[in-house]
Amino acid sequence: MGAIGLEKPIKLFIGFIFSEDVILKDLFSKLESNFGPIESYSDHYDFSHTPYYTKEMGPALKKGFVAFSQLASPAQLSLIKLHTNDIEDFYKHEDKRKVNLDPGIISLHSVVLLSTKDFSHRIPLGEGIYAELTLMFSKNCFKSVPWTYPDFSDESYHDYFLKVRKAFQIQLKETHDT
C-alpha cells in the first residue's frame, strides 16, 4: 500500500466567454473578491468553435483567461465552481447569461476543467460538480485527450497555459524552499 502524502496545491484559472457589453474590469474585481489577486491575463480570443452560447449570449463572443496568485487546495474545487455559478447569475439579464465562467486548475501535469454536467469521462467531486482532464502535459507541451473541447485542442490557449504552469512551478519551488 502506498503512503498517503500531503495534497499538493493547485493553480486556479478561470476561462470567461463574454459578450461586448460585459465590463471586464467589474468582472475581474468580482473574481478577485472571491479568489484573490489576479496574477495574469490572457489575450482575448475570438470564440467561434461552437454556436452553443450564441443564442443565449449573442454573436461575436470572445474568450479569455485569468490565473490567480494564491494557490488553491484541491478540496476547494466544488466550492470554486459554485462561486463562479453565482457570479454568472449576477451578470444574467432577462434570464440570459452575459458571461460564462469556466474554472479550472493547472498542475504540473495537466489542465483540468470543472463542470456541472456529468459525463462518462468526468469525475464527481461533490455538490453536483465534476472534474474533467482537458489537457495533459508531456514532452514540454500540452496535449489533447479525445474529449478535449475544440477550442482547447487547437493550441490557441497553450502558450498562456505554459506561462501559467511556469509561474506555478516557480511558486511551488519558492514555497518548498521556505
The overall average pLDDT reported for the chain is 95
What single letter denotes the amino acid at residue 124? P
Contact 27, 16 (CB under 8 A): yes
Mean pLDDT, residues 27-35 taken together: 98
Q: How confident is the model at residue 35 (pLDDT cuts 50, 70, 90)?
A: very high
**What residues are paired with 112 via a beta bridge?**
105, 133
Per-residue pLDDT, 20? 80
- C-alpha grid cell for residue 10? 493547485
Over the stretch 133-152, which tens digit does the pLDDT of each residue have?
Answer: 999 999 999 999 999 999 99
Which pLDDT band, with edges at 50, 70 and 90, does 19 fall under? confident
The average pLDDT across 142-165 equals 96
Rounded Cα distance between 16 and 64, Å, is 5
Specify the pTM: 0.94
Give the model confidence (pLDDT) of 119-137 as tens digits. 999 999 999 999 999 999 9
For residue 82, give the C-alpha cell: 459554485
Q: pLDDT value at position 22?
A: 83
Q: What is the pLDDT of residues 72-109, one digit of tens each?
A: 999 999 999 999 999 999 999 999 999 999 999 999 99
- Cell representation of residue 88: 454568472
Which of the four pLDDT bands, split at 50, 70 and 90, describes residue 177?
Answer: low
Residue 6 confidence class, pLDDT cut points 50, 70, 90? confident
85's torsion region: left (phi>0), alpha (psi -120 to 50) or beta?
alpha
